[in-house]
Structure 1
Amino acid sequence: MRSRLATAVAAAACAACLFAPAAEAHPGHQLSARFLGESVVPHALDYQGTTVGGLSGIDRDPRTGQYVIICDDRSALQPARFYTASIPVDEHGVGPVTFTSTHPLLRADGSTYPPVTATTGTIDPEDLRVDPWTGNYLWSQEGQRTVADGKAPVLVQPSVGVVRRDGSYVRTLPLPADERITAEHRGPQDNFSLEGLTYAAGGSLVVSEVEGPLLQDAPNATTEHGTLSRMTVQTRGGAVLAQYAYPQEPLFANPVPPTAFSITGVSAMLAVDPLDPTRYLMMERGFAVGVGYRIQIFEIDTKGATNVKDYDTLAGKHFKPVSKRLVADLADYPLSTVDNVEGMTWGPRLPSGERTLILISDDNFAATEVTQVIALAVRD
């Protein structure tokens, strides 16, 4: 999440459709989570000439047991990149994070992505997954939408791309038309586009989530009401099979002072079972100046939800969103602080049979924030 206010929206919406509480997920499949521990990475750590920070997505590589972590540096400090790291996790907690490699994300011509400028923009990396079939890396970035009166708009399209393990370009997946950024009042908002990304159904499906509502779908969440964003289910080749409406929680608190910055949205998603195409974890991240962050993780189920991929807008339409239930609220755990947590992945299984869920925070390269690795033990 870059720290600036997302573009305001004024789309009218059917309150009964958009803001009613979602139904509970199927009671036979309920996850529970308990706290294992945390490890904090030193601020502005130098690794192989790069500044470690902005860590916004993480995945465990089953081939190595290490973790692949994407950095959301928009080539401002160093070229857009990812890291690999060793993170010891067991029933006693989390050990120190040891970085083992870094590679830039490369374009089709083999070049790195250019730094962001006021007139051209650049990519904004957000999430990364290891392809269970090939070992390549799937990564999302949310582009840019800067539209101001009297100035030429800066439009950088979001994307889901594939790179090899050395960062070299393989291909880019086609995205649904409604996720195309425009200068008009439709499509994703700036800094509210593609965030969550996961494989499902044994790697045969790619599932993604936009952080906030599309401009034509709904107004942003406030402390008075939630909102709706879209999750998209695609084949590995990019064919869009379905979109589902995800009901987001209201903003957890007003900022202090009330005119200050606040935001809430989805920052990560993860398949619950790699073979199940219907159950996911969804991370919602809220922030209010003077209050701080709130991070909640929900289990969702798409079974019975309406496929809205052919809905030009969700406003005023009747449909059933995905069901959801709370699995974890980081405010309930003895963390040193609740910071800007943006990434999650499954870690190793514990002797108890529980799976570990590994979370990572994006410090925005700011000395006032931290890079945390958090481990939870999850039982189904």
Structure 2
Amino acid sequence: MNSSLTLRASAAALVLTAAMAPAVAAQPDDPAARSTIGVHARLLGEKIVPHKLSFQNTTVGGLSGVDRDPCSGEYVMISDDRSYLQPARFYTARIKVDAGGVHSVDFTGTHPFLQPDGSVYPPASAGDGKAVDPEELRVDPRTCRYWWAQEGDRPKSASEPVIQPSIQFADRSGAYRGQLRLPPQYEITMADRGIRRNKAVEAITFGAGSRVLTSAVEGPLIQDGPEPTVEHGALIRVTQQSRNGAVLGQFAYPLEKIFAESDPSSPWPPDTGVASILAFPGDPSRYLVLERTWVAGAGFKIRIYDATTRGATDVRRMDSLAGQRVVPMHKKLVADFADLGLSTVDNTEGMTWGPTLRNGERTLLLVSDDNFAEDEVTQIVALGIR
């Protein structure tokens, strides 16, 4: 992430040098695309939720997605606790935010997500293939039910069960109400195909007046090329579907390079990907995209981009992007958290539109996933967007 990818007028092709990488065609100078990109963000304020806050016999933490509920005016946040501390669940909260900042975060309720048989999800350690890894939640603008995405699990060994990713529907108490048919590329399949471990469906959003559900995988599919390094980025897939699961379009989104070298003494490799995607009201082709990166010794890098599918190649019928000539989505940097003056830059993974301010700015609320770790925080950040 040493530099943001900007619109380019060059007609030459930018070819990634990695052996498995796709050939990325230069982004054309498209006046229509340029006219939809160019928002700006400023910090309104932030609030830190007490670490491991106890609420209704649960531990608040792992908040990896947030959405505003149009039926109540409250916010709904999903926890990525894989039923280790308590059953996989979501929270509701009143968040008071205005031009003066984030004034309060008051939790009002929590419910577990239920399986089709009405039981809670077991912990991943149960090894029965029924566990889930919750990552994102959106409130259905039509029904105010919850659509939530979970990453599943590509096992480390053949003796462990495969848990497929899913996007499920739940009522407001967490009861199971159905599941969206995912595109075939999102399945965990053979060793050399499909979604990487812990890089599955991390981001979903409603757009086009709730007629379209857009999802993004966190990292590149195995067959699409290598993961980002400090030398090159990667392409991940963004898919637009109808409410009944029909694929309307699929596009390549250009993920940034790793922004710093990792501490060589750390056993943990860099972790990067798209953590959240948010549709612009009234424009089904335009999104805010949240890229989250962690590097040992360097910490977190959080960036928000304004991106559009307009002019991008529809890749839904491409089994692999490797070696293919692809025009990716246009994108432009909106905010780098390192430049906002926050008390800390942490593991931010969720974002949603908030209320419109009197000056015409739209608020954007973001939440960080503390991983229930002592050295991380649950941080609510509010930005003004214009």
* TM-score normalized by the length of structure 2: 0.91
> Which of the numbers 176, 187, 197 marks the counterpart of 1:169?
176
**d(CA) in 2 for partners of 1:107 and 1:21?**
44
**d(CA) in 2 for partners of 1:165 and 1:314?**
39
Work out whether residues 22 and 224 of structure 2, in 8 Å CA contact, stay in contact via their aligned partners in 1.
Answer: no
Which amino acid in structure 2 is aligned with residue 296 of structure 1? R
**Aligned-pair CA distance for 1:137:** 0.6
Which amino acid in structure 2 is aligned with residue 359 of structure 1? L
**Aligned-pair CA distance for 1:177:** 0.9
Work out whether residues 248 and 265 of structure 1, in 8 Å CA contact, stay in contact via their aligned partners in 2.
Answer: yes
> Which of the numbers 114, 120, 123 marks the counterpart of 1:115?
123
- Equivalent residue, structure 1, for 2:299: 292
The alignment partner of 1:154 has SS state of: coil
**d(CA) in 2 for partners of 1:298 and 1:135?**
27
> Which of the numbers 196, 201, 205 marks the counterpart of 1:189?
196
Alignment of 1:252-267 (within 5 A): 252-257=259-264, 260-261=267-268, 262-267=270-275
Alpha-carbon displacement from aligned partner over 1:213-268 (angstroms, at most 9, x marks no partner):
00000100000000010011100011111110000000111111265421111000
Alignment of 1:128-143 (within 5 A): 128-143=137-152
Cα separation, partners in 2 of 1:341 and 1:22, compared to 1, 3 Å: farther
Work out whether residues 22 and 321 of structure 2, in 8 Å CA contact, stay in contact via their aligned partners in 1.
Answer: no
Which amino acid in structure 2 is aligned with residue 41 of structure 1? V
**Aligned-pair CA distance for 1:375:** 0.3
- Equivalent residue, structure 2, for 1:339: 346
**d(CA) in 2 for partners of 1:350 and 1:358?**
13
- Equivalent residue, structure 1, for 2:367: 360
* TM-score normalized by the length of structure 1: 0.93
Specify every segment of 5 or more residues in structure 1 that has no aligned partner in the other structure, as ranges.
1-10
> Which of the numbers 31, 34, 38 marks the counterpart of 1:30?
38
Which amino acid in structure 1 is aligned with residue 135 of structure 2? E
**Aligned-pair CA distance for 1:145:** 0.7
The alignment partner of 2:310 has SS state of: coil
Work out whether residues 23 and 322 of structure 2, in 8 Å CA contact, stay in contact via their aligned partners in 1.
Answer: no
Cα separation, partners in 2 of 1:14 and 1:289, compared to 1, 3 Å: closer
Work out whether residues 289 and 304 of structure 2, in 8 Å CA contact, stay in contact via their aligned partners in 1.
Answer: yes
Alpha-carbon displacement from aligned partner over 1:61-109 (angstroms, at most 9, x marks no partner):
1121110000000001100000000110000000121000000011111
- Equivalent residue, structure 2, for 1:371: 378
Specify every segment of 5 or more residues in structure 2 that has no aligned partner in the other structure, as ranges.
1-17
**d(CA) in 1 for partners of 2:244 and 2:138?**
16
1:48 corresponds to 2:56: yes
- Equivalent residue, structure 2, for 1:240: 247
**d(CA) in 2 for partners of 1:231 and 1:22?**
20
Which amino acid in structure 2 is aligned with residue 334 of structure 1? G
- Equivalent residue, structure 2, for 1:211: 218
Q: Give the stretch that moved more between structures: 28-37 or 185-194.
A: 28-37
**d(CA) in 2 for partners of 1:66 and 1:22?**
42
The alignment partner of 1:216 has SS state of: helix
- Equivalent residue, structure 2, for 1:5: none
Work out whether residues 155 and 183 of structure 1, in 8 Å CA contact, stay in contact via their aligned partners in 2.
Answer: no
The alignment partner of 1:95 has SS state of: strand
- Equivalent residue, structure 2, for 1:6: none
Which amino acid in structure 1 is aligned with residue 152 of structure 2? G
- Equivalent residue, structure 1, for 2:209: 202
**d(CA) in 2 for partners of 1:157 and 1:195?**
13
Q: Give the stretch that moved more between structures: 253-262 or 48-57.
A: 253-262
**Aligned-pair CA distance for 1:147:** 3.0
The alignment partner of 1:117 has SS state of: helix
**d(CA) in 2 for partners of 1:69 and 1:22?**
38
**d(CA) in 2 for partners of 1:22 and 1:163?**
42
Which amino acid in structure 2 is aligned with residue 86 of structure 1? R
**Aligned-pair CA distance for 1:184:** 1.9
Work out whether residues 21 and 322 of structure 2, in 8 Å CA contact, stay in contact via their aligned partners in 1.
Answer: yes
Percent identity between the two aligned chains:
53
**Aligned-pair CA distance for 1:334:** 1.2
- Equivalent residue, structure 1, for 2:278: 270
> Which of the numbers 317, 322, 334 marks the counterpart of 2:324?
317
